Amino acid sequence: MKVLQINTACGTGSIGRIAADIHKMLIEQGHESIVAYGRGTAYNCDNTIKIGNNLDFYKHALKTRIIDKHGFGSKKATRKFIERVKNYNPDIIHLHNVHGYYLNIDLLFNFLKEYKKPIVWTLHDCWAFTGHCAYFDYANCYKWETHCQKCPEKKSYPKSVFLDNSYDNFEKKKKLFTGLKNMTLVTPSCWLANLAKRSFLKEYPVKVINNGIDLDVFKPTLSDFREKYGLENRFIILGVASEWTRRKGLEYFIELSKMLSDKEAIVLVGLSKKQIKNLPKNIIGITRTNSTKELAEIYTASDVFFNPTLEDNFPTTNLEALASGTPVITFNTGGSIETVDNSTGYVIEKGDLQEVSKIIQRMEKEGKEKYSKCCFARANNYYDKNKKFREYIELYERLEKDVQI
């Protein structure tokens, strides 16, 4: 079986690592595999196709910023890529994020309709069925259920500074993304699956495959982290993000810091140097790390992981914390709530920091040990990446078999 995966990145970021890990498992099982990607450098993958170059990226980004036509740049790069796909002739094409300033969706999906082989499309956000945004929870906007227009999230990713082209984008996406004869949607959360079934993508079967993590890395890992930062006798509240944008809830950590005693401290990972300079004294800021071992050490050293996300699908940070034996507090948002149960953490109504503070005080008295065993067990039972990615390969094999029949 020959499989082609397509994603913005390969081997970096949570989705890029998923693509690289599926590739590795395919090769180990004797299949052929290629990962095509548009940005950065490929890691942990020995067979890749780079789509476009830096100039293509900047031109596509400029087109998005000025006239809000994200997904409709990169024509030359996409034509070249399609020729390479034809030469490779994969049995399965697995799409991940097709947004990200590197692909022309008009050319790609018209080709896919002609190709007539099984397509798997993992939706990692909501961009596929909106006229502009990747998430709409913050704006409480549900125009996508009927027809997008006058987008309240025009200046969120993929940001448009001037025009609002959401009406036309919605029309074109609906035309392009519907009518494929053999496409299966996959979502990491039940929340996103239910949204997809309410969108213009409802004609397709939807399968839920949770994100998985590397349990050989994310596990209780001892370190000198507390000593290094002078936190030996303090209750550590941890936050982690690859980028602390508005939807990740940085402002809630700032507000929470005003409610803490000297016995508690906040540690935030993934901040920019500028963000770190503006932090209150009782928040320790750490820039982004690509070391998963270092992350596991920080998760383990912390007493609770707080995820005040305002919009999210199925955050792997929650899973990484659980696997390290650290309970999770999350806002009642998207698929984030599907990662915890009563024995591994708490779901709090969005923005209710008073309740978060009460939970933290309760957890301080109870001790982390009350939760750790259940957290570790949940991660091992449900979020082992080897089990999760095997589900993808089983899906590929079933779809290929159905075509042959």
Distance of CA 60 to the CA centre of its chain: 22
Burial 52-91 (b: 16+ CB within 10 A, else e): beeebbebbbebbbeebbbbbbbeebbeebbeebeeeebb
The pLDDT assigned to 345 comes to 97
The pLDDT assigned to 309 comes to 96
45: DSSP letter: -
Q: Are 168 and 147 in contact (CB under 8 A)?
A: no
3-state helix, strand, coil in the chain (%, to 5): 45, 15, 40
**H or E segment to which residue 49 belongs:** strand 48-50
Question: What CA–CA distances, in Å, run from 265 to 72, 228, 229, 260, 375?
Answer: 46, 14, 11, 8, 22
Residues of the chain with pLDDT under 50: none
Q: Give the SS3 label for residue 147.
A: coil
- Pick the closest to residue 120 from 16, 214, 45, 19 (CA basis): 19
**H or E segment to which residue 184 belongs:** strand 183-187
Distance CA 235, CA 79 (A): 55
pTM of the entire predicted model: 0.94
Task: Report domain extents, the chain.
Answer: 2-212+385-404, 225-382
Question: What CA–CA distances, in Å, run from 104 to 37, 52, 168?
Answer: 13, 11, 15
Q: Which fold has domain 225-382?
A: Rossmann fold (3.40.50)
Report DSSP letters for 233-298, one per residue: TSEEEEEE-SS--GGGTHHHHHHHHTT--TTEEEEEEEE-HHHHHT--TTEEEEE----HHHHHHH
Place of tokens 């961009």: 127
Q: Are 328 and 310 in contact (CB under 8 A)?
A: no
Over residues 178-199, the pLDDT tens digits come to 999 999 999 999 999 999 999 9
Tokens (6 digits) for 214: 């590397």
Q: Which fold has domain 2-212+385-404?
A: Rossmann fold (3.40.50)
